Structure 1
C-alpha cells in the first residue's frame, strides 16, 4: 500500500488528456500500480487541496521493445482519470 506522496507518480500531459481537460475538466495522472481509488482520491485532495467527485482507473499493459536483437518490455502502469467539483482546478494543468 503506497504512501500518500508515493501514490501520484506524475501528471499525464498528452493531446488526448488535454482534450479531456478542456471538454470535461478531467485530470489524468500516472499512479502507483497498487493504489486504490480511495487512496488516489485522498492523495489528490491532500496534495492539491481540491474536492474529487469521481475517480476512474485503468492499467496500461506492458509493451514489447526491441534493442537491436534483444527483446525487452516496458512495465505495466496505472492511469487515473480524476473529475473535480465544479469550480476547483489544479494549477499543474493550467496553461
Structure 2
C-alpha cells in the first residue's frame, strides 16, 4: 500500500460518550475515515501512524440527513467511521501522536 495514501485515510478521531465508553470497556478507538477506505488500509494506517497492534477493524457508514435551509433543501455528507480493536496491553495516545505529527 502507498505510504502517502495511508497517511490520508484517517481523517479525525471521534470524541463522544460512546467512543469513550468503547475505549474504556473494550479497548477500541473510533476514527472518521475516507468513504472509500478499506479495512486493510485502515488497519495499516493505524499501525503506521500510532505504532500499535490492531486486532480488528469494523466500519460503519452513516448516511447524511436531508436538511432544509429556508426554501432550499440541502444534504449533509455521508460519514464513514472505523472502530479499531487494539491488542491486549496496547494503548493509543492521540496527544503524543499529534505532537509528533506537528514536528514533522
TM-score normalised by L of structure 1: 0.91
The residue number in structure 1 matching 2:93 is 91
Partners of 1:65 and 1:51 in 2: CA distance: 40
CA drift of 1:69 comes to 1.9
The residue number in structure 1 matching 2:73 is 71
Q: Which runs of 4+ in 1 moved over 6 A?
A: none
CA drift of 1:57 comes to 0.4
| Higher mean C-alpha deviation, range 23-32 or range 64-73 | 64-73
State the Cα RMSD in Å.
Answer: 1.9
Matched, 1:10 2:12: yes
The residue number in structure 1 matching 2:55 is 53
**Structure 1 residues not aligned, in runs of 5+:** none
**Structure 2 residues not aligned, in runs of 5+:** 96-104
| Higher mean C-alpha deviation, range 71-80 or range 60-69 | 60-69
The residue number in structure 1 matching 2:100 is none
Q: Residues 51-94 of structure 1: CA distance to partner in whole angstroms, max 9, x if unpaired?
A: 0000000111111122122110111121100001111111128x
* Matched residues, number: 94
The residue number in structure 2 matching 1:29 is 31
